[in-house]
Protein backbone atom coordinates (compact mmCIF):
# COMPACT_ATOMS: atom_id res chain seq x y z
CA UNK A 1 0.00 0.00 0.00
CA UNK A 2 1.21 3.52 -0.80
CA UNK A 3 0.23 6.42 1.45
CA UNK A 4 0.39 9.98 0.19
CA UNK A 5 0.00 13.12 2.28
CA UNK A 6 -0.69 16.54 0.76
CA UNK A 7 0.31 19.07 3.41
CA UNK A 8 -1.45 22.16 2.11
CA UNK A 9 -1.77 25.64 3.56
CA UNK A 10 -5.47 25.16 4.33
CA UNK A 11 -6.00 21.36 4.24
CA UNK A 12 -3.98 18.27 5.01
CA UNK A 13 -5.15 15.30 2.99
CA UNK A 14 -4.07 11.66 3.18
CA UNK A 15 -4.74 8.89 0.69
CA UNK A 16 -3.99 5.17 0.60
CA UNK A 17 -3.44 3.69 -2.88
CA UNK A 18 -3.07 0.12 -4.04
CA UNK A 19 0.07 -0.46 -6.15
CA UNK A 20 -2.07 -0.13 -9.32
CA UNK A 21 -3.39 3.29 -8.27
CA UNK A 22 -6.80 2.34 -6.84
CA UNK A 23 -7.91 4.55 -3.98
CA UNK A 24 -8.38 2.54 -0.77
CA UNK A 25 -9.04 5.28 1.76
CA UNK A 26 -8.92 9.05 2.10
CA UNK A 27 -8.88 11.46 5.03
CA UNK A 28 -8.93 15.24 4.96
CA UNK A 29 -8.70 17.80 7.74
CA UNK A 30 -8.01 21.50 8.21
CA UNK A 31 -4.37 22.50 8.51
CA UNK A 32 -3.40 23.83 11.95
CA UNK A 33 -2.15 27.04 10.37
CA UNK A 34 0.99 28.63 11.87
CA UNK A 35 1.33 25.57 14.15
CA UNK A 36 4.23 23.46 12.89
CA UNK A 37 4.11 20.90 15.72
CA UNK A 38 0.35 20.67 15.33
CA UNK A 39 0.84 19.83 11.62
CA UNK A 40 3.36 17.08 12.41
CA UNK A 41 0.93 15.57 14.95
CA UNK A 42 -1.98 15.84 12.50
CA UNK A 43 0.01 14.04 9.75
CA UNK A 44 0.95 11.25 12.18
CA UNK A 45 -2.71 10.88 13.11
CA UNK A 46 -3.89 10.72 9.49
CA UNK A 47 -1.36 8.00 8.64
CA UNK A 48 -2.39 5.94 11.70
CA UNK A 49 -6.06 6.23 10.73
CA UNK A 50 -5.41 5.28 7.09
CA UNK A 51 -3.46 2.20 8.16
CA UNK A 52 -6.13 1.22 10.71
CA UNK A 53 -8.85 1.59 8.08
CA UNK A 54 -6.97 -0.52 5.52
CA UNK A 55 -5.63 -3.03 8.04
CA UNK A 56 -2.09 -2.82 6.66
CA UNK A 57 0.91 -0.50 6.72
CA UNK A 58 2.21 1.49 3.79
CA UNK A 59 5.07 3.54 2.41
CA UNK A 60 4.70 7.27 3.08
CA UNK A 61 5.30 10.14 0.66
CA UNK A 62 4.59 13.72 1.66
CA UNK A 63 4.00 16.76 -0.53
CA UNK A 64 4.78 20.11 1.10
CA UNK A 65 4.01 23.66 -0.05
CA UNK A 66 7.70 24.47 -0.41
CA UNK A 67 10.87 22.45 -0.83
CA UNK A 68 13.84 21.22 1.19
CA UNK A 69 17.24 22.83 1.03
CA UNK A 70 19.29 20.06 -0.68
CA UNK A 71 22.07 19.85 1.94
CA UNK A 72 20.59 20.89 5.29
CA UNK A 73 17.16 19.45 4.34
CA UNK A 74 15.49 22.41 6.04
CA UNK A 75 12.21 23.76 4.66
CA UNK A 76 12.53 26.67 2.21
CA UNK A 77 10.48 28.61 -0.31
CA UNK A 78 7.23 27.80 1.49
CA UNK A 79 4.15 29.98 1.31
CA UNK A 80 3.16 28.18 4.53
CA UNK A 81 5.84 30.17 6.30
CA UNK A 82 5.67 28.03 9.46
CA UNK A 83 7.66 25.38 7.52
CA UNK A 84 10.59 27.70 6.81
CA UNK A 85 13.87 26.56 8.36
CA UNK A 86 12.22 23.50 9.88
CA UNK A 87 13.72 19.97 9.65
CA UNK A 88 10.46 18.66 8.18
CA UNK A 89 11.84 15.31 7.02
CA UNK A 90 13.65 14.55 10.29
CA UNK A 91 10.70 15.51 12.48
CA UNK A 92 8.29 13.40 10.45
CA UNK A 93 10.69 10.45 10.35
CA UNK A 94 11.00 10.59 14.14
CA UNK A 95 7.28 10.93 14.61
CA UNK A 96 6.44 8.05 12.23
CA UNK A 97 9.42 5.85 13.05
CA UNK A 98 10.09 4.97 9.41
CA UNK A 99 11.72 6.25 6.24
CA UNK A 100 9.64 8.66 4.20
CA UNK A 101 10.00 10.85 1.13
CA UNK A 102 9.21 14.55 1.05
CA UNK A 103 8.64 16.53 -2.15
CA UNK A 104 7.39 19.89 -3.26
CA UNK A 105 3.61 19.74 -3.81
CA UNK A 106 3.83 20.98 -7.40
CA UNK A 107 6.38 18.26 -8.18
CA UNK A 108 3.87 15.76 -6.76
CA UNK A 109 1.23 17.16 -9.12
CA UNK A 110 3.62 16.84 -12.08
CA UNK A 111 4.56 13.25 -11.18
CA UNK A 112 0.94 12.24 -10.57
CA UNK A 113 -0.24 13.63 -13.88
CA UNK A 114 2.75 12.15 -15.71
CA UNK A 115 2.20 8.65 -14.25
CA UNK A 116 -1.53 8.17 -14.82
CA UNK A 117 -3.07 11.57 -15.48
CA UNK A 118 -3.36 14.15 -18.24
CA UNK A 119 0.38 13.96 -18.92
CA UNK A 120 0.54 10.16 -19.34
CA UNK A 121 2.50 9.26 -22.46
CA UNK A 122 4.36 12.59 -22.49
CA UNK A 123 8.03 12.66 -21.59
CA UNK A 124 8.42 16.24 -20.31
CA UNK A 125 5.40 17.41 -18.30
CA UNK A 126 5.19 20.98 -17.02
CA UNK A 127 2.43 21.12 -14.42
CA UNK A 128 1.12 24.51 -13.36
CA UNK A 129 -0.84 25.31 -10.21
CA UNK A 130 -3.05 28.39 -10.41
CA UNK A 131 -4.65 28.25 -6.98
CA UNK A 132 -4.31 30.28 -3.82
CA UNK A 133 -0.68 30.58 -4.94
CA UNK A 134 1.00 29.89 -8.27
CA UNK A 135 3.67 27.27 -8.79
CA UNK A 136 4.85 24.57 -11.11
CA UNK A 137 6.48 21.18 -11.19
CA UNK A 138 8.43 19.41 -13.90
CA UNK A 139 8.31 15.66 -14.46
CA UNK A 140 10.62 13.88 -16.88
CA UNK A 141 9.91 10.25 -17.72
CA UNK A 142 7.27 10.12 -14.97
CA UNK A 143 9.56 11.38 -12.21
CA UNK A 144 9.89 14.84 -10.67
CA UNK A 145 12.96 16.67 -11.98
CA UNK A 146 15.44 17.92 -9.38
CA UNK A 147 18.32 20.29 -9.80
CA UNK A 148 21.18 21.10 -7.43
CA UNK A 149 19.08 23.76 -5.65
CA UNK A 150 15.82 21.85 -5.43
CA UNK A 151 14.25 24.83 -7.14
CA UNK A 152 13.06 23.43 -10.49
CA UNK A 153 9.56 24.64 -11.19
CA UNK A 154 9.76 27.75 -8.99
CA UNK A 155 8.07 29.46 -11.88
CA UNK A 156 5.81 31.52 -9.60
CA UNK A 157 8.73 33.57 -8.30
CA UNK A 158 9.96 34.88 -11.60
CA UNK A 159 8.86 38.37 -12.57
CA UNK A 160 5.94 38.85 -14.93
CA UNK A 161 7.39 38.95 -18.49
CA UNK A 162 6.68 41.82 -20.90
CA UNK A 163 5.42 44.12 -18.11
CA UNK A 164 3.56 47.29 -18.98
CA UNK A 165 4.40 50.52 -17.15
CA UNK A 166 1.31 49.95 -14.98
CA UNK A 167 2.65 46.57 -13.87
CA UNK A 168 5.91 47.89 -12.42
CA UNK A 169 7.22 47.38 -9.81
CA UNK A 170 4.35 45.08 -8.81
CA UNK A 171 3.13 44.18 -5.37
CA UNK A 172 5.46 42.71 -2.72
CA UNK A 173 5.66 38.91 -2.57
CA UNK A 174 6.23 36.89 0.62
CA UNK A 175 9.55 35.75 -0.92
CA UNK A 176 10.94 39.28 -0.55
CA UNK A 177 10.76 40.29 -4.20
CA UNK A 178 8.22 42.42 -6.06
CA UNK A 179 5.85 41.52 -8.87
CA UNK A 180 6.42 37.74 -8.84
CA UNK A 181 4.16 35.78 -11.22
CA UNK A 182 2.38 34.39 -8.18
CA UNK A 183 1.11 37.90 -7.41
CA UNK A 184 -0.39 38.14 -10.92
CA UNK A 185 -1.63 34.70 -11.98
CA UNK A 186 -2.83 32.91 -8.84
CA UNK A 187 -6.57 32.58 -8.35
CA UNK A 188 -6.20 34.95 -5.44
CA UNK A 189 -4.48 37.51 -7.71
CA UNK A 190 -7.37 37.26 -10.20
CA UNK A 191 -9.84 37.98 -7.39
CA UNK A 192 -7.67 40.84 -6.10
CA UNK A 193 -7.52 42.40 -9.58
CA UNK A 194 -11.30 42.32 -9.84
CA UNK A 195 -11.61 43.72 -6.31
CA UNK A 196 -9.33 46.65 -7.20
CA UNK A 197 -11.93 47.83 -9.71
CA UNK A 198 -15.10 46.98 -7.82
CA UNK A 199 -14.08 47.36 -4.19
CA UNK A 200 -15.69 44.02 -3.40
CA UNK A 201 -13.99 40.69 -2.77
CA UNK A 202 -15.66 38.19 -5.11
CA UNK A 203 -14.71 34.50 -5.50
CA UNK A 204 -13.18 33.68 -8.91
CA UNK A 205 -16.09 31.35 -9.65
CA UNK A 206 -18.57 34.23 -9.37
CA UNK A 207 -16.38 36.61 -11.38
CA UNK A 208 -16.41 33.98 -14.16
CA UNK A 209 -20.20 33.87 -14.02
CA UNK A 210 -20.22 37.61 -14.63
CA UNK A 211 -17.86 37.10 -17.58
CA UNK A 212 -20.35 34.60 -19.06
CA UNK A 213 -23.22 37.04 -18.51
CA UNK A 214 -21.33 39.60 -20.61
CA UNK A 215 -20.25 41.89 -17.74
CA UNK A 216 -17.74 44.20 -19.41
CA UNK A 217 -15.50 44.85 -16.41
CA UNK A 218 -15.32 41.18 -15.44
CA UNK A 219 -14.53 40.34 -19.08
CA UNK A 220 -11.67 42.84 -19.20
CA UNK A 221 -10.21 41.55 -15.93
CA UNK A 222 -10.44 37.98 -17.29
CA UNK A 223 -8.73 38.91 -20.57
CA UNK A 224 -5.94 40.66 -18.70
CA UNK A 225 -5.55 37.63 -16.43
CA UNK A 226 -5.24 35.24 -19.39
CA UNK A 227 -2.73 37.57 -21.03
CA UNK A 228 -0.59 37.47 -17.87
CA UNK A 229 -0.78 33.68 -17.62
CA UNK A 230 0.26 33.48 -21.28
CA UNK A 231 3.17 35.85 -20.75
CA UNK A 232 4.31 33.78 -17.78
CA UNK A 233 4.10 30.49 -19.66
CA UNK A 234 5.66 31.84 -22.86
CA UNK A 235 9.03 31.86 -21.10
CA UNK A 236 8.54 28.20 -20.15
CA UNK A 237 7.78 27.24 -23.75
CA UNK A 238 10.74 29.27 -25.02
CA UNK A 239 13.11 27.65 -22.50
CA UNK A 240 11.96 24.09 -21.87
CA UNK A 241 9.37 23.50 -24.62
CA UNK A 242 7.59 20.83 -22.54
CA UNK A 243 5.60 18.11 -24.31
CA UNK A 244 2.45 19.19 -22.46
CA UNK A 245 1.25 21.88 -20.08
CA UNK A 246 -0.99 20.39 -17.38
CA UNK A 247 -3.10 22.87 -15.44
CA UNK A 248 -4.00 22.40 -11.78
CA UNK A 249 -5.37 24.53 -8.94
CA UNK A 250 -8.73 26.29 -8.71
CA UNK A 251 -8.36 28.36 -11.90
CA UNK A 252 -7.77 25.16 -13.91
CA UNK A 253 -11.49 24.41 -13.42
CA UNK A 254 -12.42 27.39 -15.60
CA UNK A 255 -13.26 25.85 -19.02
CA UNK A 256 -12.63 29.14 -20.88
CA UNK A 257 -8.95 28.90 -19.91
CA UNK A 258 -8.37 26.18 -22.52
CA UNK A 259 -9.81 28.24 -25.38
CA UNK A 260 -8.31 31.56 -24.36
CA UNK A 261 -4.77 30.52 -23.50
CA UNK A 262 -3.38 28.89 -26.71
CA UNK A 263 -3.77 31.94 -29.00
CA UNK A 264 -2.26 34.26 -26.39
CA UNK A 265 0.65 31.85 -25.88
CA UNK A 266 1.14 31.58 -29.63
CA UNK A 267 1.35 35.39 -29.67
CA UNK A 268 4.07 35.62 -27.01
CA UNK A 269 6.27 32.60 -27.78
CA UNK A 270 9.27 32.92 -30.05
CA UNK A 271 8.42 30.02 -32.35
CA UNK A 272 6.23 30.68 -35.39
CA UNK A 273 4.16 27.60 -34.48
CA UNK A 274 2.49 26.65 -31.22
CA UNK A 275 1.48 22.99 -30.93
CA UNK A 276 1.79 22.45 -27.15
CA UNK A 277 -1.25 20.68 -25.72
CA UNK A 278 -2.75 22.40 -22.66
CA UNK A 279 -4.80 20.02 -20.54
CA UNK A 280 -6.63 20.17 -17.25
CA UNK A 281 -5.14 17.88 -14.61
CA UNK A 282 -7.02 14.57 -14.60
CA UNK A 283 -6.91 13.99 -10.87
CA UNK A 284 -7.77 17.58 -10.00
CA UNK A 285 -7.39 18.34 -6.32
CA UNK A 286 -6.28 14.73 -5.75
CA UNK A 287 -3.17 15.07 -7.89
CA UNK A 288 -1.01 16.36 -5.06
CA UNK A 289 -1.92 13.56 -2.72
CA UNK A 290 -1.66 10.86 -5.42
CA UNK A 291 1.72 12.20 -6.54
CA UNK A 292 2.95 12.07 -2.93
CA UNK A 293 1.93 8.39 -2.76
CA UNK A 294 3.71 7.74 -6.09
CA UNK A 295 7.01 8.93 -4.58
CA UNK A 296 7.44 5.24 -3.67
CA UNK A 297 6.07 3.93 -6.98
CA UNK A 298 9.06 1.83 -7.93
CA UNK A 299 10.18 1.04 -4.39
ZN1 LIG B 1 7.92 35.76 -4.90
Tens digit of each residue's pLDDT (9 = 90 or more) over 173-191: 988 999 999 999 999 999 9
pLDDT of residue 272: 92
Look at residue 9 and tell me whether its pLDDT is greater than 90: no
Q: Ligand 1 centre from 134 Cα, in Å?
A: 10
Q: Ligand 1 centre from 171 Cα, in Å?
A: 10
pLDDT of residue 285: 80
Q: Both 151 and 88 in a single domain?
A: no
pLDDT of residue 12: 94
Indicate whether 246 belongs to any domain. yes
SS (HEC) of the chain? CEEEEEECCCEEEEEEECCCCCEEEEEEEECCCCCHHHHHHHHHHHHHHHHHHHCCCCEEEEEECCEECCCCCCEECCCCHHHCCCCHHHHHHHHHCCCCEEEEHHHHHHHHHHHHCCCCCCCEEEEEEECCCEEEEEEECCEECCCCCCCCCCHHHCECCCCCHHHCCCCECCCCCECECHHHHCHHHHHHHHHHHHCCCCCHHHHHHHHHCCCHHHHHHHHHHHHHHHHHHHHHHHHCCCCEEEEECHHHHCCCHHHHHHHHHHHHCCCCCCCCCEEECCCHHHHHHHHHHHHHCCC
Indicate whether 297 belongs to any domain. no
pLDDT of residue 222: 98
Indicate whether 243 belongs to any domain. yes
Residue 238's pLDDT band, with cuts at 50, 70 and 90, is very high
Q: Both 96 and 126 in a single domain?
A: no
Look at residue 79 and tell me whether its pLDDT is greater than 90: no
Residue 259's pLDDT band, with cuts at 50, 70 and 90, is very high
Q: Ligand 1 centre from 220 Cα, in Å?
A: 25
Look at residue 299 and tell me whether its pLDDT is greater than 80: no
Q: Both 24 and 82 in a single domain?
A: yes
Residue 77's pLDDT band, with cuts at 50, 70 and 90, is confident
Residue 287's pLDDT band, with cuts at 50, 70 and 90, is confident
CATH number at residue 83: 3.30.420.40
The values of phi and psi at residue 238, to 5°, are: -65, -30
Cα atoms found within 13 Å of the Cα of residue 106, Cβ hemisphere only: 33
Indicate whether 113 belongs to any domain. no
CA distance 143 to 125: 10
User: How much is the pTM?
Assistant: 0.89
Look at residue 246 and tell me whether its pLDDT is greater than 80: yes
Q: Both 20 and 92 in a single domain?
A: yes
Q: Ligand 1 centre from 215 Cα, in Å?
A: 32
Q: Both 122 and 99 in a single domain?
A: no
Q: Ligand 1 centre from 198 Cα, in Å?
A: 26
* C-alpha of 7 from chain center: 12
Look at residue 70 and tell me whether its pLDDT is greater than 80: yes
Look at residue 53 and tell me whether its pLDDT is greater than 90: yes
Domain range spanning residue 18?
2-105
Answer with the one of 105, 140, 159 that is the final residue of a domain: 105
Q: Ligand 1 centre from 76 Cα, in Å?
A: 12
Q: Both 25 and 73 in a single domain?
A: yes
Q: Both 125 and 79 in a single domain?
A: no
Indicate whether 296 belongs to any domain. no
Segment 254-265 mean pLDDT:
98
Domain count within the chain: 2
35-49, 73-87, 107-121, 273-287: the lowest-pLDDT one: 73-87
Q: Ligand 1 centre from 81 Cα, in Å?
A: 13
Q: Both 101 and 145 in a single domain?
A: no
Q: Both 150 and 57 in a single domain?
A: no
Q: Ligand 1 centre from 252 Cα, in Å?
A: 21
Q: Ligand 1 centre from 289 Cα, in Å?
A: 24
Q: Ligand 1 centre from 154 Cα, in Å?
A: 9
Q: Both 96 and 8 in a single domain?
A: yes
Q: Both 211 and 168 in a single domain?
A: yes
Averaged pLDDT of the chain: 94
pLDDT of residue 10: 84
Look at residue 171 and tell me whether its pLDDT is greater than 90: yes
Q: Ligand 1 centre from 274 Cα, in Å?
A: 28
Q: Both 66 and 128 in a single domain?
A: no
Indicate whether 287 belongs to any domain. no
Amino acid sequence: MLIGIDWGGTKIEGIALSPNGRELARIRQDTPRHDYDGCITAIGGIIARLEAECGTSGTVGIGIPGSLEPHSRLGKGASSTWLLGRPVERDLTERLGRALRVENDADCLAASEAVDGAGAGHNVVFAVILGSGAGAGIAVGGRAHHGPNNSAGEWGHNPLPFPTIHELPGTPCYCGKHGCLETWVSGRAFEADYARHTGTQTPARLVMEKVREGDRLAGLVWQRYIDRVARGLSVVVNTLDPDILVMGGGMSNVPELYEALPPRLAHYTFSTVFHTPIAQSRHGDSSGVRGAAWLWKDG
